[in-house]
Amino acid sequence: MARFFKPQKKSLDTQHKEFEILRFDHHGEGVALEGEKPVYISGVLPGEKVIVQLIENKRHYAKAKLIKILQESPERIAPFCVHYGICGGCQLQHLNHDAQIEAKQETLRQITKKITPNLLPLTPPVICSPKGYRRRARFSVKVNKTGRLEMGFRQRHSKEIVTLTQCPVLEPCIEALIPSLYALLDSLKGRRIIGHIELVSAEPQPALLVRTVKRLHKQDKKQLDFFAKEHDLILYLQEEETAPIRLYGERPFYCIKDLKLQFEPQDFIQVNKRVNEKMVSQALEWLAIKPEDKVLDLFCGLGNFSLPLSQKAAQLVGIEGIEAMVERAENNGKINALQNLQFYHSNLEDDPNNTFWGKQKYHKILLDPARAGALELMRYVAKTGATRIVYVSCNPISLARDAQILINQGYRLEKMGMLDMFPHTGHLESMSLFIKI
């Protein structure tokens, strides 16, 4: 009988170990070294000495959980949320806000050193209040084994739900709804079939979306309707696999640059209203749009950049990979009586040279891709010959990769700066300006 070699599974060394934290990674986790292997640890700060226990040990890296802090950093502060440390929503409340900004700025400095030989001072960070900034939240909902309703965010490194009593990073108008919303859901006959809910701070009033895996009882729908009217909410219901239906109130919208942008609760919008407004203004300034310019907005969504850009340009072409968002963008153009807008639904991983819009000439380009970046587009963008390109990024790794392509194709990195879109988290949003040499 043939015998096959089966490697023995190496047992995890769970013995407590002492480390000194050297730096942050780009997710806001502390990094220590065991030999030459990086060990990633949540809840720690550079310079601290800690006791940890390994929870994962791979060939090229390890992860550990914090057991005890032996020597604290002077920048460590007390978290302001009672759920911090268990809830996975925030990762950096133990670090003062100014130091958070500086840590993220340092990540951008390291990127500039990799992609440009010249020293490039960062532009001032775009910031806002670090509390009450988040205008949307998606809460998971389930009934646990003991019959208790849970409603909140997932725990860190877990699928378990942290039932919230507060969330100080949410805008006050939606944070205030948490206790009464929990009581409402707990009273429903169909409490076990609720999958998740979405709360969005919007105009003319906040919006609530309730998602269920089965059809709700008529009495439950009446209770939801009464709750929406009592709290002056726009109400949406999404049952089974059907599309969300608005049961009460007008379609929500937000305003930017005196423009009205309608959206649905499940649509992507920037979560930080104040930073978003400043970000759009900075993009307009950096692109230096002239009245004769034709501008291309890639990953345009529902028109967050497109509509303000079109007010300055001769023509704006917006490209988006999600068809429903293209429809929203077109509708938003009509609502605001803008005539110089064209939107196209297109797979942005395909070659734009094979599309109608990709064969046109553009003077300025803005792109705001998802975390994966825009690798498939960068060579096309570089070959357009656009004089100015603004790249909005939510991932420093894909930004560095994509920026290098532009630089190799004859562009100069002119400006780069941080956008404090997500205070108290490891997420890093930034904006870069590239100029054709």
Q: Is residue 253 part of a domain?
A: no
**Distance from first CA to last CA of the chain, Å, rounded?**
69
pTM across the whole model: 0.92
CATH code, domain with 331: 3.40.50.150
Q: Are residues 142 and 60 in the same domain?
A: no
For residue 239, the enclosing domain spans 136-248
Q: What is the distance between the alpha carbons of residues 408 and 430, in angstroms, rounded to a whole number?
A: 21
Q: Are residues 406 and 345 in the same domain?
A: yes
Q: What is the distance between the alpha carbons of residues 356 and 107, in angstroms, rounded to a whole number?
A: 38
**Residues with a known catalytic role:** 394
Q: Are residues 172 and 121 in the same domain?
A: no
**What is the mean pLDDT for each group of 10 consecutive residues in the chain (437 residues)?**
55 89 88 94 94 92 94 95 93 95 93 85 95 97 95 89 96 97 96 96 98 96 97 97 94 96 96 98 98 98 98 98 97 97 95 94 97 94 96 95 95 96 95 96
pLDDT at 114: 86
Q: Is residue 386 part of a domain?
A: yes
Q: Are residues 294 and 340 in the same domain?
A: yes
Q: Are residues 407 and 295 in the same domain?
A: yes
Q: Is residue 86 part of a domain?
A: no
CB 407 within 8 A of CB 413: yes
Q: Are residues 275 and 239 in the same domain?
A: no
Q: What is the distance between the alpha carbons of residues 341 and 307, in angstroms, rounded to a whole number?
A: 8
Q: Is residue 427 part of a domain?
A: yes
pLDDT at 158: 83
Q: Are residues 188 and 56 in the same domain?
A: no
CATH code, domain with 25: 2.40.50.140
Residue from 373, 376, 371 nearest 349 by CA: 376
Q: Are residues 292 and 358 in the same domain?
A: yes
pLDDT at 335: 97
pLDDT at 244: 95
Domains: count for the chain: 3
Q: Are residues 166 and 241 in the same domain?
A: yes
CATH code, domain with 216: 2.40.50.1070
